[in-house]
Amino acid sequence: MTILLAILSITIVLFIWGKFPPDIVALLSMISLYVFGILDLNETLSGFSNSTVIMVASLFIIGEGLSQTGWTAQAGKKFIQCSGKHVPKLLIILTLGAGVLSGFVSNTGTVATLLPVTISASWKMGTFPSKMLMPVAFGSNTGGLLTLTGTPPNIIVSNELIQQGFEGFSFFEFGYIGLPLLLIAILYFKYVGFRLLPDHQTKNRPINIDTELHKWIDAYSIGNNYYRLRVRSLSPLINTKVAQWDFEKEFGISIIRLKRRHPNRLKGTAPYIEFPSPDTELRYHDIITVQGETEDINRLMMKFRLGLLKLDPIEEELKNNLINQEVGMAEAIITPKSLFVGRKLRLGDFFQRFNIQLLAASRNDRPLQDREIRVRAGDAFLIRGAWEDIGELRSLYKNVVICGSPEGMSKDVDELTLKSYVALGTLLLMVTLLVFNILPGAIAALICAGIMLITGCVPISRAYKSISWVSVVMIAAMIPMGLALQKTGVAQMAAAGLVSTLGEFHPLALLGGVFLLTTGLSQTINNSATAVLMAPIAILAASALSISPEPFMITVAISASTAFLTPVGTTTNAMVMSAGGYRFVDYVKVGGPLLLLFFITTILLVPIIWPF
259 membership: H or E segment, kind and range: strand 254-259
Asked if residue 57 is part of any domain, the answer here is no
Point out the domain boundary residue: 410, 427, 454.
410
Q: Is residue 36 part of a domain?
A: yes
| pTM across the whole model | 0.63
Secondary-structure percent of the chain, ordered helix, strand, coil, rounded to 5? 60, 10, 30
pLDDT tens-digit series, residues 347-385:
777 776 777 888 888 888 888 877 788 989 888 888 888
Per the structure, how many domains does the chain have? Answer: 2
Same domain, 110 and 184: yes
Tell me: do 196 and 235 sit in the same domain. no
**Average pLDDT for 586-593:** 93
Q: Are residues 244 and 389 in the same domain?
A: yes
Please check whether residue 427 lies inside any domain of the structure. Answer: no
Q: What is the pLDDT of residues 71-109, one digit of tens each?
A: 766 776 777 778 777 888 888 988 988 888 777 666 776
* Same-domain check for residues 227 and 111: no
User: Is residue 354 domain-shared with residue 391, that is, in the same domain?
Assistant: yes
pLDDT above 80: residue 529:
no
Which of 410, 432, 449 is where one domain is finished?
Answer: 410
Residue 607 pLDDT: 94
Instruction: Specify whether 125 is located in the same domain as 256.
Output: no
Q: Is residue 446 part of a domain?
A: no
- Cα–Cα distances (Å) from 435 to 221, 391, 399, in that order, read 53, 38, 52
pLDDT at residue 6 tops 70: yes
Query: Can you state the angle between helices 469-487 and 571-580, rounded to 10 degrees?
Result: 140
529 and 387 in one domain? Answer: no
Cβ burial, residue 266 (10 Å; 0-12/13-18/19+): exposed
Direct distance between the N- and C-terminal alpha carbons of the chain, in angstroms, rounded to an integer = 36
Same domain, 281 and 189: no
238 and 167 assigned to the same domain: no
Q: Tell me, what DSSP letter sits at residue 374?
A: E
Residue 340 lies in a domain: yes
pLDDT above 70: residue 407: no
The answer to whether the beta carbons of residues 580 and 130 sit under 8 Å apart is: yes
Same domain, 331 and 232: yes
Residue 14 maps to a domain = yes
Last residue of a domain, one of 395, 410, 425: 410
Question: What's the chain's average pLDDT?
Answer: 82
pLDDT at 266: 43
Mean pLDDT is lowest, of 1-10, 337-346, 526-535, 566-575, for: 526-535
Domain that holds residue 569: 2-44+70-204+468-609
Residue 65 lies in a domain: no
In-domain check, residue 55? no
153, 257: one domain: no
Q: CA torsion, points 107, 70, 54, 106, in degrees to nearest 10?
A: 20
The vertex-461 CA angle with 458 and 462, nearest 5°, equals 50
Q: With contact defined as beta carbons under 8 Å apart, do 317 and 291 qualify?
A: no
Q: Does residue 153 share a domain with residue 25?
A: yes
CATH label of the domain that carries residue 303: 3.30.70.1450
